[in-house]
Amino acid sequence: MTDIVPTPDTAAEPLAAPAAAPATPFTELPLSPALQATLVQLGYLNMTPIQAASLPVALAGHDIIAQAKTGSGKTAAFALPLLTKLNPRWFAVQAMVLCPTRELADQVTQEIRRLARAEDNIKVLTLCGGTTMRPQRDSLAHGAHVVVGTPGRIMDHLERGSLTLDGLNTLVLDEADRMLDMGFHDDIVYVAKHCPAERQTLLFSATYPPAIAALASRFQRNPQEVKLREQH
């Protein structure tokens, strides 16, 4: 029985259960045997819809604008492409993920660490405000492959010279609409200007307002739009 008590501010009725989309296994992707083995260990067998839509495009090297909500599995959608390109024997920051908050940055760091092969010793550093710069500077001095952080703190490190991005090949803007809502526009612009022009830029956003389109056209090259069709 459905509860139909209409009130003006009632949230949208829950959608009917989406028609079962055909499951797409990770084995269809051109991932290394090591990454495939890690996915099996984690119990990741089938891709979520946003992963199935974006991973083939991102793994082919294209820039993407992906519209996806929280909990849709976005982290693996950008972590697998950046890990695929990463050279563990080269101690340079090769990928950077910008996030709106410390909590999200911590979650992304944990997920990338889970997906990275332990024996490769891939170093993933979180760089967020609210803590002193010194320990982060020391960690950066020891070398990191991937940095995940908030735009303001990453900008601080760039200004002070404790972070260089000359070896970067992947820039990820995670929850880009939230970063703009939080006033990070100018910091993102500053950070992106310090990234090599020759790179892949993956942009994820729950909504697609004009400001996101403007950001994309400024920082991306011929981005492929990945949008999930609403299920009715």
In the bound state with ligand ADP, the residue whose beta carbon lies nearer, of 178 and 185, is 178
With CB under 6 A as the contact rule, the residue among 75, 94, 169, 200 that binds ligand ADP is 75
Give the interface size with ligand ADP as a residue count (CB under 6 A): 14
Of 111, 99, 54, 58, the C-alpha closest to 82 is 58
Q: Which is nearer to ligand ADP, 51 or 54 (CB)?
A: 51
Q: Is 116 in the site for ligand ADP (CB under 6 A)?
A: no
**Strand pairing class (170-173; 224-227):** unpaired
Closer to Mg ion at the Cβ: 62 or 74?
A: 74
As measured in angstroms, the least distance from the Cβ of 108 to Mg ion is: 6
d(CA 226, CA 65): 6
State the alpha helices, DSSP H only, in the chain.
Answer: 33-42, 49-59, 74-85, 102-115, 133-141, 151-160, 176-181, 185-193, 210-219
199 lies in the site for ligand ADP, by CB under 6 A? no
Partner touching 201 among Mg ion, ligand ADP, none, CB below 5 to 8 Å by kind: none
Candidates 10-18, 74-82, 183-191, 208-216: pick the segment binding Mg ion (CB under 5 A).
74-82
Which CA distances in Å does 48 have to 24, 26, 74, 166, 196?
Answer: 8, 10, 9, 33, 31
- Positions touching ligand ADP (CB under 6 A) are 44, 47-48, 51, 68, 70-76, 107, 111
